[in-house]
């Protein structure tokens, strides 16, 4: 009996997914304007963070860019200014709570209240569990999830007051399904997905429907963290493809952004 119910639920889910995709194909979601919004992007010195900054610059947002790499984040800011927007670069270690709080206070005084945050900074140490050093495990969680807590706590009060804002969590498909030799990374991304879902539910419970949330979950992305990336399970994506999906998801207030989008169907079947 349970098997029949499971199959029936699966069939309903598949039909619903196809109908939803069909409707969205013919009636695309309305895209919001982010012109003039103050956007904070972490990990903006390279990869997804850098290209995301460029896309927000094209949308005429005001940019606050963070990265631990001074040269990288300043290069990103300089390119954004060429697109005709204000962009300020800050060297911030997203694993350091005190540094995060101090920089947020500085931004509030010098720039204003951030209304969109893209928690993108991340780190990865590919290795089997026994070969992974203790400090690498700690660093993975400090950057990939704890930093999201400190940044969001620091930026959320003005958003709550205005009931306006957008909090973006950059996670991974590894926050839904695991692959070997990345136990700390997968665990931290599961936590990031949980953070996004719990925050979304809490904002709704508090009646703060003007504060939107999005979670980016791509498969493996060629960002330069690892040499010659490859996987048997999923395709390796280029950064620009992922960022296009991310920006589209933010501008349409999409809660969960899978790249490629078909991954959501795979995960449904897996469940």
Task: Report the pLDDT value the prediction gives residue 14, as an integer from 0 to 100.
Answer: 67
Distances (CA, A) of 224 to 46, 221, 227: 9, 9, 7
| 183 and 223 inside one domain | yes
Distances (CA, A) of 213 to 52, 87, 173: 16, 23, 17
Length of the chain: 271
| 206 and 236 inside one domain | yes
Task: Report the pLDDT value the prediction gives residue 224, as an integer from 0 to 100.
Answer: 59
Task: Report the pLDDT value the prediction gives residue 223, as an integer from 0 to 100.
Answer: 64
Residues with Cβ within 8 Å of 57's Cβ and at least 6 positions away in sequence, in order, are 63, 79, 80, 83, 84, 85, 87
- 16, 54, 101, 185: the catalytic one is 185
CA end-to-end span of the chain, whole Å? Answer: 18
Helix (H, G, I), strand (E, B) or coil at 43: coil
Task: Report the pLDDT value the prediction gives residue 1, as an integer from 0 to 100.
Answer: 58
| 14 and 120 inside one domain | no
* Number of domains present in the structure of the chain: 2
| 12 and 54 inside one domain | no
> Tokens 């996670």 appear where?
171
> Tokens 């919004």 appear where?
37
Task: Report the pLDDT value the prediction gives residue 26, as an integer from 0 to 100.
Answer: 61
125 has catalytic annotation? no
| pLDDT-flagged residues of the chain (< 50) | none
| 111 and 63 inside one domain | yes
Distance in angstroms (rounded) separating the CA atoms of residues 249 and 97: 29
Q: Which domain holds residue 236?
A: 34-270
Other C-beta atoms within 10 Å of 132: how many?
18
CA dihedral of 251, 210, 40, 200, whole degrees rounded to 10? -90
| 21 and 83 inside one domain | no
Q: CA gyration radius for the chain?
A: 19
Each residue's pLDDT tens digit, 27-38: 667 899 999 999
| 25 and 115 inside one domain | no
**CATH number of the domain where residue 134 is located:** 3.40.50.720
| 164 and 177 inside one domain | yes
Helix (H, G, I), strand (E, B) or coil at 46: coil
Q: How far is CA 254 from the centre of its chain?
A: 12
Element spanning 100, H or E: helix 97-110
| 41 and 143 inside one domain | yes
| 124 and 183 inside one domain | yes
Residues with Cβ within 8 Å of 246's Cβ and at least 6 positions away in sequence, in order, are 48, 52, 168, 170, 214, 216, 257, 259
Task: Report the pLDDT value the prediction gives residue 255, as an integer from 0 to 100.
Answer: 96
Distance in angstroms (rounded) separating the CA atoms of residues 209 and 225: 36
| 12 and 39 inside one domain | no
| 172 and 39 inside one domain | yes
């Amino acid at each position: 009996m349970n098997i029949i119910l499971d199959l029936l639920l699966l069939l309903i889910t598949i039909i619903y997914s196809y109908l939803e995709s069909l409707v969205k194909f013919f009636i695309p979601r309305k895209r919001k304007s982010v012109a003039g919004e103050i956007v904070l992007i972490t990990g903006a010195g390279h990869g997804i963070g850098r290209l995301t900054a460029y896309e927000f610059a094209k949308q005429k947002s005001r940019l606050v860019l963070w990265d631990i790499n001074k040269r990288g984040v300043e290069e990103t800011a300089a390119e954004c200014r060429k697109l005709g927007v204000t962009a300020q670069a800050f060297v911030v270690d997203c694993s350091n709570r005190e540094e995060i709080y101090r920089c947020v206070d500085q931004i509030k005084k010098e720039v204003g209240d951030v209304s969109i945050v893209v928690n993108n900074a991340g780190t990865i140490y590919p290795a089997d569990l026994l070969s992974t050093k203790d400090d690498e495990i700690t660093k993975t969680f400090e950057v990939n999830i704890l930093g999201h807590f400190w940044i969001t706590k620091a930026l959320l009060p003005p958003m709550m007051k205005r009931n306006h804002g957008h909090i973006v969590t950059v996670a991974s498909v590894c926050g839904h399904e695991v692959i070997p030799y990345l136990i700390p990374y997968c665990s931290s991304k599961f936590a990031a997905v949980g953070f996004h879902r719990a925050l979304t539910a809490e904002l709704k419970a508090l009646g703060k429907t003007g504060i939107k949330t999005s979670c980016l979950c791509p498969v493996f992305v060629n960002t330069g963290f690892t040499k010659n990336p490859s996987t048997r399970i999923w395709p390796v994506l280029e950064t620009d493809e992922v960022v296009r999906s991310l920006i589209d998801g933010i501008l349409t207030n999409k809660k969960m952004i899978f790249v490629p989008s078909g991954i959501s169907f795979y995960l449904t079947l897996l469940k």
